[in-house]
Structure formats: C-alpha cells, structure tokens
Amino acid sequence: MENPEMTGGFVVEMPNERFVLSRGGISFTAKSGSHKFSGTGQLLLSPLRVVFQADRASGGGLFGGGRANVDAFDIPLATLTNESFNQPIFGANNLTGTSPPLPESVCDQDIHWNFTFKSGGVGTFLPIFFGLLREMRRHISAERRGESSGSTQVAFAVPAVVVAEIVNAAYVDPSDPTKLYVQQQDPPSAPVMGKPVS
C-alpha cells in the first residue's frame, strides 16, 4: 500500500512489530494498472512486511498522471507472491514479486513491484528476507489447519523467538550494506532475599 503511516519522515511500526533490518541504496518501482510508483531510498524489513521508504532528496515518486508523491510503500509478507531474486548479466541484482492491493489503496489491480539493489551485495539481506517469508507462510498454513498457538498478537505474525533465531543466525556479508536491528532481551530479575524463586 502506498503511504503507510509515517511520523517525522520515518515509517511507523505497527503494533507488536519491530523492524529487523534496513537497507539503503534501493531503487523501487511498482505498477498496478495505470498507477506507477518509483523512487530511491531504503528498504525496511519486519516479520510482517517489506517497506520502501523514499529518501527526501528523491522526492518519492508517483508518476501516474501528476498525482501526489509516495513517501513509502508497504508490501505485506502474508500476501506477496511470485517473489524472485534476479541477477541479470547487465544491471543490478533485484527482487521482484506481486502483491494484491490492500483495501485502503488507490491500486485496484495486482501490484507488480521491484527492489533493485544499487550498491553492495545481498548475502545478509536475502537469507533473512526468505527466512521471514518462509516462516510467515508456515505460520499462515498452521493457522489455516487450526494448529496455531492461540496468540492474540497481530494476525499471522511470526513468533518473536523465530525472528530472533533467523536474525541471530544471519551471515554478515561484508559487501552487503544491510543494517541489522538486534533485540536485546531483558535481563532476568534478581530474586528478592527471603522469597523462593518459582
């Protein structure tokens, strides 16, 4: 969806969401019917979605008949399909896919999107992206079979423990400018003297 909630020029996390990485040097394009979106900026990844956030200097870019600019674009992991990582002989590596339009979107047809990695490698980004996508699909499949844990968190959210395992197991590719956001666990509380620890 175009223009997810932002504050101070940054995309706002949804309830129970934490971005696990960001990646600059991204060129983004998307098309849905007559609507075309493009811009340069950064990609943010959470267990729920991939978000493109335009750099201020790029002006975002909705080039569909002179309409307003797009500062960010939201692609839910739960609904994306046909994802493909491409390594063309000439040109930069890119990730493409399709997503259905969200109800609040101006888009009325499937959205065909492309993230082009303009600088550096993708050895850190790809395993985390595909790991979160695989876990999202596994979680959705379990929900449909009635095997869910009964969690009342955001619908189809990948459990935080699984996210931590995927991020902590990431290989850090020195040529990949991806920034990982690692969650620090709260230290266990010290037992109070004279009270048993249960």
C-alpha span between 94 and 37 (Å, rounded):
16
Q: Which of 161, 151, 133 is nearest to 45 (CA)?
A: 133
How many Cα atoms are found within 13 Å in the side-chain-facing hemisphere of 34? 4
> In this predicted structure, what is the pLDDT of residue 68?
31
Report, as an integer, the average pLDDT of 162-169: 59
Extract the tokens encoding 6. 């932002």
By CB atoms closer than 10 A (0-12, 13-18, 19+), residue 110 is middle
Q: Is the pLDDT of residue 156 over 60?
A: no
**Which is more confidently placed, 56 or 23?**
23
Cβ count near 114 (within 10 Å): 16
Across the chain, what does the average pLDDT equal?
A: 77
Query: In angstroms, what CA-CA distances link 130 with 57, 109, 146, 195?
Result: 30, 25, 24, 46
Report, as an integer, the average pLDDT of 68-78: 81
19-41 residue pLDDT tens: 888 999 999 999 999 989 988 99
- Direct distance between the N- and C-terminal alpha carbons of the chain, in angstroms, rounded to an integer: 47
Q: Is the pLDDT of residue 69 over 70?
A: no
Q: Is the pLDDT of residue 62 over 60?
A: no
> In this predicted structure, what is the pLDDT of residue 146?
74
C-alpha span between 47 and 44 (Å, rounded):
10
C-alpha span between 67 and 60 (Å, rounded):
12
At 84, is the secondary structure helix, strand, or coil?
A: strand
94-128 residue pLDDT tens: 999 999 998 888 888 999 999 999 988 888 889 88
Q: Are 97 and 81 in contact (CB under 8 A)?
A: yes
Extract the tokens encoding 146. 């009635």
> In this predicted structure, what is the pLDDT of residue 196?
45
Q: Which of 74, 4, 69 is nearest to 45 (CA)?
A: 74
